[in-house]
Structure 1
Amino acid sequence: MIALFDGHCDTFFHLTAKGSNLAENDLHLDLTRAARYAPYAQFFSIWGTPEACKRNNVFELSLQCINRELSKNKHTIRLCKTAADAKSAFSGGQAAAFFSIEGAHVIDCDQTLLNKAQAFGIRSFGLTWNNANVLCGSHCEDAQRGLSEQGREFVRKLNELCVIIDVSHLSDKGFWDVCALSISPIIASHSNSRYIHAHSRNLTDDQFCAIIEKNGVAGINLYADMIGGSADITQLLRHILHFLDLNGEKHISLGTDFDGCSNLCRGINGMQDLPRLYDAMLAEKIPEPVVQDVFINNLMRVVEDICVM
């Protein structure tokens, strides 16, 4: 069986909004289809639009949904906060559920709520989504603005709390500010290569090399708009091969963006189709240990390095 650790999906947004089930649904990801991977770990994001977060308490509603779904499926999946937790889950035949926040607007950029989120189990945090906020500009709003002083305080707090910092939606200036300030590895949980496809959410070569220098990872995103070109597996491989050319063997992971986008890479309609990517990488003569690193080991190393409490 293929081992899998996916660094980003938005499945719980739909579970919270629609009352769907994690066990089986018509989304990109569910536990029934996940059973073909062992071991299996997943970063589930907590996210809502800025408007929804102002109108409803998306954070609290999401925590309630997470608790409900994990309780219903406790024999299949468990909440994990550390790599050791994940290994314990794997030993018991369970999947490992890690949680992230996508955009500080979800917690109103509030450090008190950040402490609550970390205590619950949040282990990865993106300062912005597509919207800018008081902490930083995003890749598509206030894109010239980097970290504010409040944003710098957040970065220091995330380091102190042993929470991974995710730069996927940040402005370029924000990326470099975080890179300079963070004392821990950083990740771009769901970002491809800007050299291959010029999308503001993708990474420049300099940015990817900076992630390497900090011993982080970039997660390959299956969103067609970020793949570019034919947006098929062949085109997706171009992003992976380019990162490999930059000596990224230990710094590429997966960040599928399942249930966070409507149009996926052609040939991949949900998590059931990820073996097609695995096989395509092997067909490109990428050594299987490198493929396995991309599919699970590289991201797990970052979790092991940072998430120690």
Structure 2
Amino acid sequence: MKVIDGHCDVLLKMYLDPAIDFYDVHTSPMDVTYSRMLHSNVKLQCFAIYLPERITQPHFDHYLEYINIFYQKIVRSGLIQAVKTRGDLELVMNGRVPGALLTLEGADALYGNPLYTRTLYHLGVRMIGVTWNYANWAADGVLEPRQGGFTRKGKSFIKDCNDLGILLDVSHLSEAAFWDLAAASAKPFVATHSNVKRLCGHPRNLDDEQIRALIRVDGRIGVTFVPWFVESSGKASVDDVVRHMEYICALGGERQLVLGSDFDGIDRHIPGLEHTGQYDRLAEALYKKFTKEQIEGFFYKNWHTFLSQHLPIH
């Protein structure tokens, strides 16, 4: 079965340790590697640019460093292709070479400058999570104490992304900012790596109304494998992940449900979902509850349909 994964933090690990080789199966400390992508038939992996908290003064050059890593150490002719357009997407979904899509998690270093946003677009960034957990110039994150929404510049940023064809990701936004984006965006939006708050009360998870809002706009909801987003105790199982998927489907989200592992962004894992080579374990658990057609939707078809409609044509 094919797989599309909407979020991983491989680039962070490679930024922190330049010696890491994405293609070296024997020494790589990462959850997502080239060989594991092939093993699980991962046709498209989204790679996030995320600046660690130790960078207290984010600069646009930091983004450029990550983008350089992406093109020098991930994308490789005949092995992994960068996906920027609908045509690129079809090539990787129907061909032998898997694809890599560049995303941004936290727009802090854009500072409301439309030129920076446009430059990221030209360099291949196709999806942006406006905040990480805290506030920046655009909006409040989910852990920001004041729990505000979008600023004036932030609302202009939403329009800039809509106009350019950059998808917007609400996974780390405060609740007020989520609803500001829902009201302001002319395009469907996504939550690349968030689960169900009713089942696990972590603030990064989505409540029922947020899930319904994503379903209404035909956005996407990426179930994530972060143990403490799956089970409040942090002791989660593969079956617990399935419970979140069942819940989203019960709200009407069968066609909006996708995967957003957050591999390489976590230091503890769900047994049986420790890395990207283990999607077969999740599929095995899902077959107890869902049909093959439904599981194909969750694993790749729902992402594929969405991206084929909203990535740039050229």
1:186/1:214 contact within 8 Å kept: yes
Give aligned-pair identity as a percent.
25
- Residues 176-233 of structure 1 deviation map (CA, whole Å, 9 limit, x = unaligned): 1101111111100000000110111101111001001010111011001101154111
- In structure 2, distance between residues paired with 1:239 and 1:150: 35
The residue that corresponds to 1:84 in the other structure is: 87
**Structure 1 residue 305 and structure 2 residue 309: aligned?**
yes
Q: Counterpart of 1:38?
A: 41
Q: Is the 8 A contact 1:132 1:142 kept in 2?
A: no
SS at match of 1:198: coil
CA contact (8 A) 2:4 2:303 kept: yes
TM-score, normalised to structure 2's length? 0.93
Q: Give the SS at the match of 1:64.
A: helix
Within 2, Cα distance between the matches of 1:184 and 1:55?
28
The aligned runs of 1:268-287 (5 Å cut-off) are: 268-284=273-289, 286-287=290-291
Residue number in structure 1 paired with 2:247: 242
Q: Any idea what the Cα deviations from partners look like across 1:112-163, whole Å, max 9, x if unmatched?
A: 1111100111110011001211110110014520011101000000000111
Query: C-alpha distance in 2, partners of 1:39/1:197?
Result: 28
Give matches, 1:47-62, under 5 Å: 47-52=50-55, 54=57, 57-62=61-66
Structure 1 segment 107-126 matched on structure 2, within 5 A: 107-126=110-129
Question: Which residue of structure 2 lines up, in the alignment, with residue 133 of structure 1?
Answer: 136
Gaps of at least 5 residues in structure 2 are none
CA displacement, residues 219-276 of structure 1 (integer Å, 9 cap, x when unaligned): 0110011011541111111111100111111010000000011112232111111110
8 Å CA contact 2:273–2:279 kept in 1: the answer is yes
| 3-state secondary structure, aligned to 1:290 | helix
Distance in 1 of aligned mates of 2:48 and 2:248: 25
Distance 1:278 1:140 in 2: 33
Larger mean Cα displacement after TM superposition, 49-58 or 252-261: 49-58
Q: How does 1:1-309 map to 2 (within 5 A)?
A: 2-19=1-18, 20-24=20-24, 25-38=28-41, 40-52=43-55, 54=57, 57-70=61-74, 73-229=76-232, 230-284=235-289, 286-308=290-312, 309=314
* Partner Cα separation in structure 2 for residue 243 and residue 39 of structure 1: 23
CA distance in 1, matches of 2:156, 2:53: 22
Q: Which residue type is aligned with residue 22 of structure 1?
A: F
Secondary structure of 1:237's counterpart equals: helix
Tell me the number of residue pairs that the alignment of Structure 1 and Structure 2 aligns: 306
SS in 2 for 1:98: strand
Change (3 A) 1:131 1:266: same
Separation (CA, whole Å) in 2 of partners of 1:30 and 1:190: 19
Any idea what SS the aligned residue of 1:35 has?
helix
Provide structure 1 residue ranges, at least 5 long, that are not aligned to the other structure.
none
List per-residue Cα deviations over 1:74-131 (Å, max 9, x = no partner). Answer: 2111101123212113444111110100000143443211111001111100110012
RMSD: 1.6
TM-score where L is the length of structure 1: 0.95
Contact 1:47/1:106, CA 8 A, preserved across alignment: no
